Amino acid sequence: MSLHVRPLRASEFLQWRDLRLRALRESPDAFGSRYEDQVQWPLARWQERAAALAAGDTQMMFVAETGDGQLAGCAGAHVQSDGDPMVISMWTAPERRRQGVARRLLDALADWGRGRGARRLTLWVVRGNRSATQLYLSCGFRSTQVSVTNEHGHVEDELSLEL
């Protein structure tokens, strides 16, 4: 499998929009955002969002690009008030799962965080999402013993990776 993990480019806002909407349709319970809301965003909003994520200042988005130029996954982060990044928008296309894509995306985020001097990388995972939880634990994330109920009524557990 030919695959390259790299930062999102601002010019790729249309491809990233398509990937994001596919993720929201395929895995609606894994995200705080809803397909029904984001599908209505004007292109200018997607363009602004992609530009902010591509800038890599206080937020970043990595994508997994296949050999034929298709985006097969993404993982982003935003820097919290304590200076440590939190993972957002983690998703891998079903046909690319169990091939190391998600692990490579998480590695890229961890490297980005280390480069910023961050102490840890955190994320929230919906309780009961066994495959995601197993992935995160196998990558070295550990439970912080903090849980919240999201706006959709799902319990999410916080996990943290020491950098």
For domain 3-162, the CATH class is alpha beta
Which tens digit of pLDDT belongs to each residue from 75-131? 999 999 999 999 999 999 999 999 999 999 999 999 999 999 999 999 999 998 899
Q: How much is the pLDDT for 57?
A: 86
Mean pLDDT within 40-48: 96
Residue 1: the pLDDT is 61
Report the pLDDT averaged over residues 31-40: 90
Cα torsion at 62, 50, 122, 89 (round to 10°)? -80
Residue 154 is predicted with a pLDDT of 84
Q: Within the chain, where are the H helices?
A: 13-26, 35-38, 43-55, 101-115, 130-138
Q: How much is the pLDDT for 5?
A: 97
Return the pLDDT at 132: 92
Say what the pLDDT of residue 156 is.
93
Give me the chain's average pLDDT, please: 94
pTM value > 0.85: yes
The ranges assigned to domains in the chain are 3-162
Note the pLDDT of residue 29. 80
Q: 49 phi and psi, to 5 degrees? A: -65, -45
Element (H, E) at 69: none
pLDDT above 80 for 15: yes
Over range 43-67, report the average pLDDT. Answer: 94
Query: 3-class DSSP state for residue 28?
Result: helix
> How much of the chain exceeds pLDDT 70, in percent?
99
